[in-house]
């Protein structure tokens, strides 16, 4: 129920009692607020005329036994409190009423407990999977100056508890959105969170909860033992035992870096688990914890274990075995990793990327790829530099994806890119020799997709510039209103950047255009990875193909039905108090 506090100075005269008694209900406008007055069972009631569900007028509704029923979708409300019996509709605001000398006075004082109410509504929206309720609560919370991390934390906590299958695409999208906020216009923050939170609610719909596994009753286990046990249990696909190890490590206060080390080691003990999703989910869970100060680390990280234990290992995939045994090449390379790192230590800081390295990474020879990565390490390339080089090569695959390919192959180009990004971000956190294996896995997955660049889509020329790049940016929304605009979009983005256009403005625009579409897991992941990579590259001109890749990927998946944006717009207009539908005495209702 929405409660109000009585402040006599906020009382406004509404009507005469006699008039209301004669008509049964009246519509009045008090301090710009449309208010529906009802006379029922010898009592006067005043409620907001806008139904909280979709904003249709409540004036004209059937009122019986103290309950008013909205004629549009039949949501029912207690007239006295405004509380609804249909939670998808939300409570309607009720106003305290006083009768003095035959006159009705309504108290229109502002509400005082909105934050608590909206936080509860967000929880309701997640539990019942109602996007409109989620959108309304997020818009209201951010408008109340609540930090975006607060609704994010609610979604994180909900999604990790109420989904037995564990961390999935919804939580990943939510975390990507959180990562993308700094690149967006502030006005898009609630839209981004609404998209991510709705995805979490969808994943949890009808899913059984994840029951907590308790830590071992011990204070006497060290990091090395727990790490070895965890890897052993994942190797045996024993989810419960692995989860108990992990929560024990957290309970014992093992450092955040070491927890990440345990997870990444197990995630790279086999090749390219679940087409890279497992390691990507681990990285996202760690990023989510970073955003929230590692609150509820136990439930968040425990949600990763099922995916780790059940993942498909690419040693089992024929494409990684035939006609070239990539696993054997990788095993050989991994044996040389410690020595290569040792040899390169004294040259670190001096490494310059050889001009031919990218061509080798995008080329035909898997053994040459592994050899060149090892050689880079011996020459002083750091773990992070190596990871970034492979991520860049993966982005080039997307930037050069030829539109003659099957549309489904966009996913094949996409997976190595987001996997490589996850490995790179993981290595920035914990540069272990185990996780370094992920860089080699990413390089092989890029190699396997070389056919997607045959022939390569032509990357725009740096000499192709215009005098007014901002005019190009204005064309982008229209371009993405049409299908099959992949190459035109890539060209526009490159021309904008080569002409000196502001990359921050471009990224904000791309994020906005992504948000107006129905959410797509891969588009959101791809945007997150591309913006991250672009921001970490030292040379902005080197980053042009990266943003071209993100824009082309978005263009390949736009336009959609945009029904989710329609829901958001409805919530936004309701929140703003727009006159969504006419609210005069003469307005029609469907009854
Ligand atoms: S129930 Fe009132 S507008 Fe839908």
CATH number at residue 270: 1.20.272
**Same structural domain, 345 and 449:** yes
Domain finish residue from 398, 428, 453: 453
Q: Does residue 382 form part of some domain? A: yes
Q: Does residue 279 form part of some domain? A: yes
Question: Beta strand 33-40 with 25-30: parallel, antiparallel or unpaired?
Answer: antiparallel
Name the residue with tokens 């099957």: 406
Q: Give the C-alpha separation, 118 to 108, whole Å.
A: 20
Pick the residue whose CA is nearest to atom 4 on ligand 1: 73
Q: Give the C-alpha separation, 451 to 293, whole Å.
A: 43
Instruction: Dig out the tokens for 31 from the structure.
Output: 């301090």
Q: Please indicate whether residue 89, judged by its CB atom, sits closer than 6 Å to ligand 1.
A: yes
Residues facing residue 97 across a β-bridge: 106
At residue 579, the pLDDT reads: 58
Q: Does residue 215 form part of some domain? A: no
Name the residue with tokens 């502001």: 502
At residue 9, the pLDDT reads: 77
**Same structural domain, 176 and 258:** no
For the beta sheet containing 103-107, the strands, ordered from the edge strand earlier in sequence to the opposite edge, are 11-16, 103-107, 97-100
Our CA dihedral for 439, 445, 451, 455, rounded to 10 degrees, sits at: -30
Read off φ and ψ for residue 428, nearest 5 degrees.
-65, -30
CB distance 385 to 351 below 8 Å: yes
Domain finish residue from 107, 136, 155: 107
Q: Please indicate whether residue 498, judged by its CB atom, sits closer than 6 Å to ligand 1.
A: no
Distance 81 CA to ligand 1 centre (A): 17
Q: Please indicate whether residue 132, judged by its CB atom, sits closer than 6 Å to ligand 1.
A: no
- Is the ipTM reported for this complex over the cut 0.90? yes
Q: Please indicate whether residue 59, judged by its CB atom, sits closer than 6 Å to ligand 1.
A: no
**Same structural domain, 290 and 411:** no
Q: Does residue 168 form part of some domain? A: yes
CB distance 57 to 588 below 8 Å: no
Closest CA to 53 of 145, 121, 114: 121
Read off φ and ψ for residue 107, nearest 5 degrees.
-90, 110
At residue 580, the pLDDT reads: 57
Distance 236 CA to ligand 1 centre (A): 53
- The whole-angstrom distance between residue 232's C-alpha and the CA centroid of its chain comes to 32
At residue 581, the pLDDT reads: 60
Counting as low any pLDDT under 70, the low residues of the chain are 1-8, 578-591
Range of the domain at 379: 317-453
**Same structural domain, 439 and 485:** no
**Same structural domain, 119 and 102:** no
Q: Does residue 576 form part of some domain? A: no
Read off φ and ψ for residue 28, nearest 5 degrees.
-130, 160
Read off φ and ψ for residue 41, nearest 5 degrees.
50, 45
Instruction: Dig out the tokens for 9 from the structure.
Output: 């100075």
Closest CA to 399 of 460, 353, 442, 469: 460
When the pLDDT of each residue in the chain is averaged and rounded to a whole number, the result is 94
Distance 54 CA to ligand 1 centre (A): 5
Q: Give the C-alpha separation, 417 to 419, whole Å.
A: 5
For the beta sheet containing 76-78, the strands, ordered from the edge strand earlier in sequence to the opposite edge, are 62-64, 67-69, 76-78
Question: Beta strand 62-64 with 43-48: parallel, antiparallel or unpaired?
Answer: unpaired
Q: How many domains, the chain?
A: 5
Distance 552 CA to ligand 1 centre (A): 40
């Amino acid at each position: 129920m929405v409660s109000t506090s009585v402040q006599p100075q906020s009382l406004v005269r509404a009507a005469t009692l006699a008039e209301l008694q004669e008509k049964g209900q009246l519509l009045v406008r008090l301090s710009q607020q449309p208010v529906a007055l009802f006379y029922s069972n010898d009592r006067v009631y005043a409620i907001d005329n806008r139904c909280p569900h979709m904003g249709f007028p409540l004036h004209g509704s059937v009122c019986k036994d103290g309950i008013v029923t909205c004629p549009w979708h039949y949501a029912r409300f207690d007239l006295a409190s405004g509380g609804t019996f249909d939670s998808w509709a939300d409570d309607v605001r009720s106003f305290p009423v006083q009768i003095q000398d035959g006159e009705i006075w309504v108290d229109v004082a502002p509400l005082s407990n909105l934050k608590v109410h909206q936080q509860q509504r967000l929880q309701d929206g997640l539990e019942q999977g109602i996007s409109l309720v989620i959108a309304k609560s997020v818009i209201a919370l951010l408008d109340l100056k609540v930090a975006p991390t607060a609704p994010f934390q609610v979604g994180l906590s909900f999604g990790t508890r109420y989904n037995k299958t564990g961390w999935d695409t919804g939580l990943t999208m939510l975390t990507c959105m959180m990562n993308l906020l700094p690149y967006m216009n502030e006005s898009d923050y609630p839209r981004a969170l609404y998209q991510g939170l709705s995805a979490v609610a969808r994943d949890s719909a009808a899913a059984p909860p994840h029951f907590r596994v308790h830590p071992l009753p011990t204070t006497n286990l060290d990091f090395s033992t727990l790490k070895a046990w965890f890897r052993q249990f994942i190797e045996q696909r024993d989810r419960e035992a692995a989860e108990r190890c992990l929560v024990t490590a957290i309970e014992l206060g093992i450092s955040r870096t070491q927890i990440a080390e345990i997870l990444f080691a197990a995630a790279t003990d086999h090749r390219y688990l679940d087409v890279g999703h497992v390691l990507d989910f681990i990285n996202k869970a760690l990023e989510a914890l970073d955003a929230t100060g590692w609150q509820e680390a136990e439930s968040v990280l425990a949600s990763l274990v099922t995916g780790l234990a059940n993942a498909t290992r690419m040693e089992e995939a024929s494409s990684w075995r035939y006609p070239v045994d990539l696993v054997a090449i990788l095993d050989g390379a991994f044996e040389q990793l410690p020595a290569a790192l040792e040899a390169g230590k004294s040259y670190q800081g001096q490494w310059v990327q050889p001009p031919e390295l990218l061509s080798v990474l995008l080329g035909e020879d898997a053994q040459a790829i592994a050899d060149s990565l090892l050689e880079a390490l011996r020459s002083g390339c750091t773990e992070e530099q190596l990871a970034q080089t492979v991520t860049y090569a993966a982005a080039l695959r997307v930037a050069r994806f030829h539109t003659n390919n099957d549309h489904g192959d966009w996913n094949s180009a996409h997976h190595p890119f987001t996997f490589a990004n996850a490995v790179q971000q993981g290595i920035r956190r914990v540069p272990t020799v185990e996780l370094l294996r992920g860089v080699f896995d990413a390089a092989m997955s890029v190699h396997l997709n070389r056919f997607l660049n045959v022939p390569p889509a032509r990357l725009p020329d740096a000499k192709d510039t215009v005098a007014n790049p901002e005019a190009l940016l204005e064309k982008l929304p229209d371009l993405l209103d049409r299908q099959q605009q992949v190459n035109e979009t890539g060209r526009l983005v490159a021309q904008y950047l080569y002409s000196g256009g502001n990359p921050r403005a471009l990224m904000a625009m791309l994020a906005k255009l992504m948000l107006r579409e129905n959410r797509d897991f891969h588009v959101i992941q791809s945007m997150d990875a591309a913006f991250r990579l672009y921001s970490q590259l030292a040379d902005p001109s080197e980053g042009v193909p990266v943003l071209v890749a993100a824009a082309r990927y978005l263009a390949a998946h736009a336009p959609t039905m945009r029904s989710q944006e329609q829901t958001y717009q409805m919530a936004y207009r309701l929140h703003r108090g727009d006159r969504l539908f006419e609210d005069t005495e003469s307005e029609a209702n469907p009854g």
